[in-house]
């Protein structure tokens, strides 16, 4: 089935935070049990905090989408320097971005930064503040070339393997594995058997961690 990834609508998840839903298939950008809670649990707590002792962290996010993971990463109060790179094939329009409620209670400066991340289409590095550098590439994770041994942390946040099985394949994971430094980690909401087998096949060591509300397990994969 041909899915139109631009055919989507706004939803509100159970923690009150917005998300988007694809209209051609049963698939949301986040858990219906809480977009914000899910992002914090998986990408911040099981991912970024894993490296809380590190002065500088290089992050790759597969699937920028609503920018929620990037926003939550930017909001972490720490002196750590973050280099955030993200890849997105089907960016949101500004009409969609302004409907999301992530920044409604934030100051003008934070709002400006969130919109700047969405507006950034030209593959250039933006300095958000002295601790946060941002780069977004409009590209396909299957085709994009990634640098070798560059990242400490990968947020792997693609649509589910039921919808896009080829994005959870050994060929994509191999490329991501090579792009990580030794001991680097990949975190994802997905704990499906096939996905775990593909991660192991390219060399990752896996940890299953408790999931957020509505999800039993999530996966952290470590490059040894
Ligand atoms: C589950 S959503 C999550 C997005 C995001 N992390 C967020 O918090 O909103 C998956 C994202 O991957 C993007 N995507 C789908 N296929 C892709 C591909 N081949 N390459 C890169 N991004 C893709 C989608 O457009 C969508 O934004």
Q: What would the pLDDT profile of 122-174 be if each residue is shown by its tens digit? A: 889 999 999 999 999 999 999 999 999 999 999 999 999 999 999 999 999 99
Nearest of 55, 70, 71 to residue 104 by alpha carbon: 71
Let me know if residue 79 belongs to a domain: yes
Let me know if residue 20 belongs to a domain: no
Q: Is the CB of 142 under 6 A from ligand 1?
A: yes
Mean pLDDT for the stretch of residues 193-220: 97
SS3 120: coil
Question: In angstroms, what is the span from residue 108 Cα to ligand 1's centroid?
Answer: 27
Q: What is the DSSP string of 158-204?
A: PSPTTT-GGGGSHHHHHHHHHHEEEEEEEEES---HHHHHHHHHTTE
Report the atom number in ligand 1 closest to the C-alpha of 27.
Answer: 1
The residue among 2 and 153 whose pLDDT is bigger is 153
CB of 153 closer than 8 Å to CB of 184: yes
Q: Is the CB of 158 under 6 A from ligand 1?
A: yes
Tally the domains of the chain: 1
How distant is the alpha carbon of residue 6 from its chain centre?
18
Write out the residue range of the structural domain in which residue 60 sits: 43-223
Q: Report the alpha-carbon distance of residue 177 to residue 27 in Å, rounded.
A: 27
Q: Report the alpha-carbon distance of residue 35 to residue 13 in Å, rounded.
A: 6
Residue 23 is given by DSSP the state T
pTM: 0.98
Nearest CA to ligand 1 atom 13: 63
pLDDT in the model for residue 123: 82
Let me know if residue 114 belongs to a domain: yes
Mean pLDDT for the stretch of residues 89-116: 96
Question: In angstroms, what is the span from residue 78 Cα to ligand 1's centroid?
Answer: 27
Let me know if residue 116 belongs to a domain: yes
Q: Is the CB of 66 under 6 A from ligand 1?
A: yes
SS3 160: coil
Q: What CATH number corresponds to the domain at position 67? A: 3.40.50.150
Q: Report the alpha-carbon distance of residue 80 to residue 14 in Å, rounded.
A: 31
Q: Report the alpha-carbon distance of residue 51 to residue 111 in Å, rounded.
A: 27
Let me know if residue 29 belongs to a domain: no
**pLDDT category of residue 90 using cuts at 50, 70 and 90:** very high
Let me know if residue 137 belongs to a domain: yes
| Helices 170-179 & 193-201 angle (0-180, nearest 10) | 50
């Amino acid at each position: 089935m041909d899915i139109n990834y631009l055919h989507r609508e706004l939803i509100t998840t159970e923690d009150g935070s917005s998300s988007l839903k694809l209209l051609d298939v049963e698939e949301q950008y986040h858990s219906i049990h809480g977009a914000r809670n899910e992002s914090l649990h998986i990408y911040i707590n099981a991912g970024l905090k894993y490296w809380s002792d590190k002065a500088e962290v290089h992050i790759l996010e597969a699937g920028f989408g609503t920018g929620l993971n990037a926003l939550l990463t930017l909001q972490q109060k720490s002196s750590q320097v973050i280099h955030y790179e993200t890849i997105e094939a089907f960016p949101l329009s500004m009409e969609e971005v302004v409907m999301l409620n992530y920044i409604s209670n934030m100051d003008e400066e934070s709002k400006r930064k969130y919109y700047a991340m969405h507006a950034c289409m030209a593959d250039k590095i933006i300095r958000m503040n002295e601790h946060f550098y941002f780069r977004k590439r409009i590209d396909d994770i299957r085709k994009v070339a990634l640098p070798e041994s560059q990242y400490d942390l990968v947020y792997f946040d693609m649509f589910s393997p039921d919808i896009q099985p080829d994005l959870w394949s050994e060929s994509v994971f191999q490329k991501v594995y090579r792009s990580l430094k030794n001991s680097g980690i990949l975190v994802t909401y997905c704990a499906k058997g096939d996905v775990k087998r593909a991660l192991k096949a390219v060399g990752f060591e896996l940890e299953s961690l408790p999931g957020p509300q509505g999800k039993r397990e999530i996966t952290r994969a470590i490059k040894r």
